[in-house]
Structure 1
Amino acid sequence: MRFVDLAATSTAVADTSGRRAKIELLADALRRLAAGGSDETITAGAAYLAGEVRQRQTGVGWASLRELPPPAPVATLTVEQVDAALQRFSELAGPGSQAERRRGVSALFAAATADEQRVLVGLLTGELRQGAQAGLLADAVAKAAGVEIGEVRRALLLAGDLRAVAAAALTGGPGALATFHLSVGRPLAPMLAQSAPSVAEALAATGAPAAADVKLDGVRIQVHRDGSDVAVFSRSLDDLTARLPGVVAAVRALPAHTLVLDGEAMGHDEAGRPLPFQEISGRAARRGEPAQLTPFFFDLLHLDGADLLDAPARDRWAALTGAVPGELLVTRTEIADVADAERAFAAAVDAGQEGLVIKSLDAPYDVGRRGAAWVKVKPRHTLDLVVLAAEWGHGRRRGWLSNLHLGARDPETGGFVMLGKTFKGLTDELLRWQTERLQALAVERNDWVVKVRPELVVEIAFDGVQTSPRYPGGVALRFARVLRYREDKSAAEADTIGDVRAIHAGRLAGG
């Protein structure tokens, strides 16, 4: 398949708002991939349609993409050629590898048209914002292959790799999908939770009675044990075994022979308070330096030869309680009504945890989509910040100023300190309004960004504040999203960098 055709699909998906239309576009591209491609080509193409590359690491980032050759006038690249080039980049190592990788990148981009270059940059930087999430692509795989979506989701749960599932469905149909099964030692796509702004809305989604799990701000882990062999996997299915010896030892000490457990790895300070996620994830990510983190489990997917995926949650949890000691379990409370849920939520937050996950007692363990069986609730922070600049949007947001640069007021200097960027929460109406408003405030502009006079105040919701050497204030907002513009406020009334640092200090203290 020509890479330019896949790039055109990416652009079309980004410019399309309807779910069904997106699925049809993706399904058509998948059919064309399957028509003349190998399993490897389908796997690579499916990854590109999901905004990813088949290789976990390519060694190519923003620094390698600063100076690119002019685009090619005629499309000649195929999906196979792009995949082969990325594979070469991923395998380069040792002296001279960086220079050779740069030459390879230059050659690849010189052969790419403008649209192909745009998609390649997005794939290699992880910023191909085209709206083709895993759930949409799973639906497109089912449509393209003519199989039931339930069969695709089941295979995805068991394989943990949508690319492999796509190749199986498109080349072998239901029979190939049926070959996927739970195998101890092979990670599964984890079940995920959707969000709700309050415990009342979360409980309305799951139904009552329900379970309220304390939401730990740790590293999601899936642990497989077969006899003395223990493997620990991350949410993205990376192997963390060598980096988490405490988790390995804790699971190896359990009485069961075979297990598949779902949970979180946490660290604590000297007072027993949970460490911030940034510090925990940093420890888990450092190679060659084992992290001393403790596991806390909330689900059991397999026990001594019996798969529990399809069992109701209450049955899985009963088996979990019998297999794992209480000190290694996430705190769980059964709740009958909103009052129970609010008490559990207050207790979790007071203990320095992130909030609650409200869970249905009857749901099976479902594929990694955000269904209503698990709903998370976290306290919401808000700040009034000043817009310092905005970046021009891509895809469906092309032509609008989208990604906002956010700043807090600095009373000592009279200026503003940048805290990060966000394009989350912006409706089409807001995008149109802010594009016109920000251009009226522009002081400097280029093809990428418009810098503005720091006058416009925007109310931002966020989940927390983390340490960040990337920004001048040393801190950044986590999961920032726009709530509304505050034209009733002047920039002099915006929140200060001191306010932001106080939230950061309170989080570090567990408050």
Structure 2
Amino acid sequence: MKRFSNLISKLEQSNKTNDKLAALVHYFSEADEVDKIWVIALFTGKKPKRTINTKLLKEWITEITDLPTWLFTECYHNVGDLSETIALLLPPPTAHSDIPLHQWMLDLKRLVSSSDEDKKQFVFDAWMKLDVQERFVFNKLISGNFRVGISGKNLIHALAKLTGLEVNHITHSIMGKWDPEHITYTDLLEGVHVNTDNSWPYPFCLANPIEVPVQELGAIADWQAEWKWDGIRGQLIKRNDELFIWSRGEELITDQFPELHIALEGLPNGTVLDGEILAVRDGEVLSFSTLQQRLNRKTILKKQLEQAPISFYAYDLLEYGGQDMRGESLRKRRFLLEQLLPIGKIIQPSPIVSFDTWESLVETRKQSREMNSEGLMLKHQDSLYHSGRKRGDWWKWKIEPFTVDVVMIYAQKGSGRRANFFTDYTFAVRDGDQFVTIAKAYSGLTDKEIKEVNRFVVKNAIEKFGPVRTVKPELVFEIAFEGIALSKRHKAGLALRFPRIVRWRRDKKVEDINTVEDLRVLLKSTMRESEL
């Protein structure tokens, strides 16, 4: 646990990729084999279920410290993170623990079914033999809030640097379903389990934002253009008469989309398609907000099937007749895809966008919003299907986002490196003489601007609601977003998709911000008649 907690500390102390890679390589070169497999699991989203709810943790920390509830609450609001607050408030440890990480993980897994009293005893014993940093990590694990500032790409590159294995090989090996209790570190990286499960997906090929004018990409005949759909990227897999649908986030979502089960009859075994799950009616792609009605549903009602009918637009063919096709050119993969599909309107190739000149494609891109698309994808005809991103083969050419001017009315402290600064902001637009909240955002400002905004919040806080501060509505910001939808969560009745701060509008006053009516007009202009 000490070695792992030291790793977490190093990863949080720097935002430089090289520092993070060095910390990872150092850890994996020294850690026990069994611990390594659990670290890979944790860093790839296979975190344990929440063992203890936060209400119990708050009760236990006030009991062990004999602090009044109000004082603990004040400490929590000041620190901004429950796990860190508890770690800091606990008395010094009375013992020392040499229990390895993997044993902690197994004990926590078994603890899920224990009584509250047994859980309490286990947690008290752990707190009393862990130091502050170890307690912080332990608290994250038991509360189910374990997150770390390291990307899957950095983890894979660190493992590749340490082992000498190819990045693509490791990427494929750590995807999909595997259990850290039943596989060794060596077997995982060597991929001995790959494709033994009929459901096994492939790593997704990703694109980079286009960096040059399209006219500089060269001959038109070398490129394929497609719409960049705004749906759920996924892989549709049929092997041995079984169907599996994976999201790009490595979630198995087969049961959520019964319409796509037509693939069981229409696709041959040994087929893997990469594509987009979309809400489509009468051949028209509907908005992402319509698609959201179908997401994360345990039970799908008839009304939802009717309001958000699902289709799968296939981009690529990754496996054909049981053969891995990723090493073939896009030209060949697309030809085979079109021979294989369509098997019906529900599963079909994503349409190619034809163009005679780059200038004509520039004009076509302007129609993206009418198609409920985010823009265009440009793929080189000779490109292979790489794991992750390879600069130069695939480009995403997104349309400019929507923007709106808003005023900050609430602020809350961040976490991790930002725990001492107000960095989580709630923004509002005008509705007559009132302000109504429309979005939260916490990215887009420089470190210098964050400190300046923090000083403003400290000096101009009007009210306090737990960790949240109401501030004078004076700071105007321009925020960007990808889409807009009706929402019951916001007072404005609207929600913005992927809001982020573009810039601090020091040149504007609060009287200049946008109104709810502006956004309602925008919403109406982005929706098809069938969705209104």
Structure 1 and Structure 2 fold alike (TM over 0.5): yes
1:357 to 367, 377, 402: 377
* Per-residue deviation, 1:338: 3.5
User: What corresponds to 1:393 in structure 2?
Assistant: 414
Equivalenced residues, count: 487
Q: Is the 8 A contact 1:233 1:239 kept in 2?
A: yes
Matches within 5 A, 1:91-170: 92=113, 110=127, 114-116=132-134, 118-119=136-137, 130-143=148-161, 145-148=162-165, 151-157=166-172, 159-161=174-176
**1:46-73: CA deviations, max 9, x gaps?**
23345x4434x54777777665624343
1:404 Cα deviation from its structure 2 partner: 1.7
Q: Which residue of 1 aligns with 2:101?
A: 79
Q: Does 1:381 align with 2:396?
A: no
Question: Could you list the per-position Cα deviations for residues 171-227 of structure 1 after superposition, in whole angstroms to 9, with x for gaps in the alignment?
Answer: 3697x257746975312232233345x9x6577679854222112222222111135
Between stretches 486-495 and 324-333, larger displacement belongs to 324-333
Gaps of 5+ in 2: 62-85
SS of residue matched to 1:268: strand
Aligned residue for 1:332, secondary structure, equals: coil
Cα distance between partner residues in 2 of 1:63 and 1:207: 62
Q: CA deviation at 1:43?
A: 2.6
Counterpart pick for 2:261 among 248, 256, 270: 248
The CA deviation at 1:301 is 0.4
Does structure 2 retain, via aligned residues, the 8 Å contact 1:159–1:189?
A: no
Judge conservation of contact 2:172–2:203 (CA < 8 Å) in 1.
Answer: yes
* 2: CA distance, partners of 1:14 / 1:203: 42
Aligned residue runs from structure 1 range 181-200, under 5 A: 184-196=198-210
Contact 2:383 2:393 in 1 (8 A): yes
| 2:334 is the alignment partner of 1:313 | no
1:263 counterpart (275, 279, 287): 275
* Alpha-carbon separation, structure 1, partners of 2:147 and 2:435: 29
Within 5 A, what are the aligned runs for 1:37-52? 37-38=33-34, 41-49=35-43, 52=45
Q: In the alignment, residue 477 of structure 2 is paired with which amino acid?
A: V
**Alignment check: 8 A CA contact 2:33 2:184 kept:** no
1:410 and 2:431 are equivalent in the alignment: yes
Q: 1:61 to 1:251 in 2, by over 3 A?
A: farther
* Alpha carbons 2:369, 2:526 under 8 Å: kept: no
- The letter of the residue matching 2:154 is L
Q: Deviations over 1:222-273 (max 9, x none)?
A: 111135322222222322223322212145314x34211111222235x654
Distance 1:480 1:153 in 2: 33
Task: Please state whether the residue corresponding to 1:267 is helix, strand or coil.
Answer: strand
Residue aligning to 1:303? 320
Q: How does 1:308-347 map to 2 (within 5 A)?
A: 308-325=325-342, 327=345, 328-335=348-355, 338-347=358-367
**Residues 48/352 of structure 1: CA separation in 2 closer, same or farther (3 Å cut):** closer
CA distance in 1, matches of 2:465, 2:478: 26
Q: 1:202 to 1:421 in 2, by over 3 A?
A: farther
Alignment RMSD, CA only? 3.7
Query: Offset of 1:384 from its aligned partner?
Result: 0.6
Relative to structure 1, the CA distance from residue 20 to residue 389 in structure 2 (aligned partners, 3 Å threshold; closer, same or farther) is: same
Which whole-Å CA distance do the structure 2 matches of 1:458 and 1:146 have between them? 47
Amino acid at match of 1:352: N
Change (3 A) 1:9 1:227: closer
Alignment partner of 1:13 is 2:31:
no
Return the letter of the residue paired with 2:506: E
Q: Is the 8 A contact 1:206 1:359 kept in 2?
A: no
CA distance in 1, matches of 2:297, 2:124: 33
The equivalent of 1:293 in structure 2 is 310
The normalised TM-score by structure 1 is 0.82
1:24 corresponds in structure 2 to 22
* 2:81 equivalent in structure 1: none
Equivalent position of 1:441 in the other structure: 460
**CA 1:289–1:335: 2 relative to 1, 3 Å:** same
Call closer, same or farther: CA 1:100–1:68 in 2, change over 3 Å. closer
Residue type of the alignment partner of 1:407: A
Task: Give me the whole-angstrom Cα distance separating, in 2, the residues matched to 1:81 and 1:410.
Answer: 56
Could you tell me which amino acid in structure 1 is paired with residue 226 of structure 2? D
Tell which deviates more after alignment, 75-84 or 319-328: 75-84
Contact 1:134 1:162 in 2 (8 A): no
Question: Do the aligned residues in 1 keep the contact of 2:315 with 2:350 (CA within 8 Å)?
Answer: yes
- SS of match in other structure, 1:238: coil
Alpha-carbon distance in structure 2 between the residues aligned to 1:109 and 1:341: 62
CA separation in 2, counterparts of 1:382 and 1:210?
31
The CA deviation at 1:345 is 1.5
After superposing the two structures, state which structure 1 stretch, 114-123 or 354-363, moved more: 114-123
Change in CA separation of 1:282 and 1:37 when aligned onto 2, cut-off 3 Å: farther
| Deviation (angstroms), 1:129 | 6.2
CA offset digits 1:412-442 (Å, max 9, x no partner): xx23222232122222232233223333333
Letter of the aligned partner of 2:287 in structure 1? P
Q: 1:164 Cα shift? A: 7.8
Worse-superposed segment, 306-315 or 368-377 = 368-377
**Aligned partner of residue 150 in structure 2, secondary structure:** coil
What is the TM-score normalised by the length of structure 2?
0.79
Shift in CA distance, 469/322, structure 1 to aligned 2, threshold 3 Å: same
> What's the offset of the Cα at 1:382?
0.4
Q: Aligned partners of 1:423, 1:445: CA distance in 2, in Å? A: 19
Residue of 262, 287, 290 corresponding to 1:276? 287
Confirm whether residue 504 of structure 1 aligns to residue 497 of structure 2. Answer: no
Q: How far apart are 1:293 and its partner, in Å?
A: 1.4
Q: Which residue of 2 aligns with 1:366?
A: 386
SS in 2 for 1:343: helix
Larger radius of gyration: 2
Residue 519 of structure 2 is aligned to residue 492 of structure 1: no
1:54 alignment partner, one of 47, 53, 70? 47
